Structure 1
Amino acid sequence: MNARETVRTWLRPPSPVRTDPELDPAARRGIRIEITIVLLVTFGLSGLSGILSLAESLATPVALSDQTVALNPSRAAIDWIDLARQLLGVAKLLAWAALGLYLLWRSGIGPRAAGLTPKPRFGRDIAPGFGLAAVIGLPGLLFYLVAQALSINLTVQASALDDHWWRVPILVLSAIANSGAEEVLVVAYLITRLRTLGWSENKSLLASSLLRGSYHLYQGFGGGVGNVIMGLVFGRYWQRTGKLWPLIIAHALIDMVAFIGYALLRDHVSWLP
């Protein structure tokens, strides 16, 4: 395959060959209902909330860049209750990921077929994960700074947790849980189910990417657009390689650097909000 054909297959990949029988109308309706319910209890609802948050920010008579949104905030004034609620948040995200994997398994698509081998391998999964983290993370930081300077993005505090002994472990767990939930549900689950309904690769990729962007709109237009771009890259990588571990690893690394780096540096450098 020459370079031109390679680029073409990445831009317009063929849909996977289907071996399952054609769905009858009742089965198609059932899948649509399933997707709707899953999204309404997970990232679809988060997307609607993100749209409302952005609308509220725009209605506020203050520039977006002068408004602040905090990630990973404290959830209680009492130390151990705060820790317990943080762990519940992690558990919820992991449960969302488990829900996506379970529904795929019920439809005959096990974790391995969705791109999750029992153990990630260095050359196959870990190294590409670090590569994707660099490809997305560094330009993403620059994109955020430009968007914030143009006042189309809120000022994002990547961690608002107080300096507890458990702050760093919780931020690591939150990064892992976020990455697992998003990549399993928004990429593997959603694109797979849309394929089953006969959607093209590009159409399902666009739907997945727009969903990812929607639930980041609470950060502003920059957060939304930046995550749509991330979704296009991650989704296409999964469509072409069938590997999900690199996406989870890359996403977790990006979040860990943002969460922990901010928490450790915010009191020592003047340019962090």
Structure 2
Amino acid sequence: MAARDEMMAAAAAPRILLDDVSISYATPRGRLPVVDRVSLAVDRAEFVVLVGPSGCGKSTILRAIAGLNAAESGIISVDGKTVDGPPEHIGFMFQRDTLLPWLTVRGNIEVGLELAGIASIERAARLADLLALLRLSEFHDAYPAQLSGGMRHRVSLGRMLAYQPAVMLMDEPFGALDFQTKAVMGRELLRIWETERRSILFVTHDIEEAVALADRVIVFSPRPARIIAEHRIDLPRPRNLRTLRASSEFTAYTSAIWQALGDGDPAGDGLN
């Protein structure tokens, strides 16, 4: 009975919940406040994007949800369970791909299958599905050095999807890509998200990217991060950034977010 009650409570809880969370870093000059009393909920299958000045604390929030940073005060929970270490079924994708150069596309994605504990007999079918989903089937035996930047990011995404995370934390995963490749990757991510229906918390400095991807955009102040605005993006899906740019609604959203951001980051010390 207790187990069933716990399962029902978890199902009713937000996928991710931050309740009055503050985080500081120790520095030679003392404690540096990075996140200040942030409260935020992300629902199941919701795509939420965090924007704010460089160094304001967005990446710190992702790392805290992943159990890599401890909250100084407040509560962080995933599926109703307080985060006191890396939670199960969370995937983290960084700005730079972290592929293993000695493994092929197939081998890199299989790392995620192994971490997920997928039985060997099931791996071939799951791998084939992922390669097809990511449009990488014909490159399965290529090594990372033989791939374009966009393709390497697709492999990184495939490895994370292979792990079958309920939550995908993405820290500027396309930030190093040129505009055209970033737009393509954004479309690919939305296509995959609409198929897989994971909860995504995505950090970016690109306001157009944020509006093109998100169900909601959360805007943060300069460090220490506080939520200063929230925009629910009511644009039809599927979305294409090139098409959206001609939309007056899209322009209104991006203008409102820029207005909320004001003059940007006065600190500029590179902490995230």
Q: Normalising TM by the smaller chain, what interval?
A: under 0.3
Which has the larger share of helix?
1
Structure with higher RCO (Cα < 8 A, 6+ apart): 1
TM-score (norm 1): 0.25
Which has the larger share of strand?
2
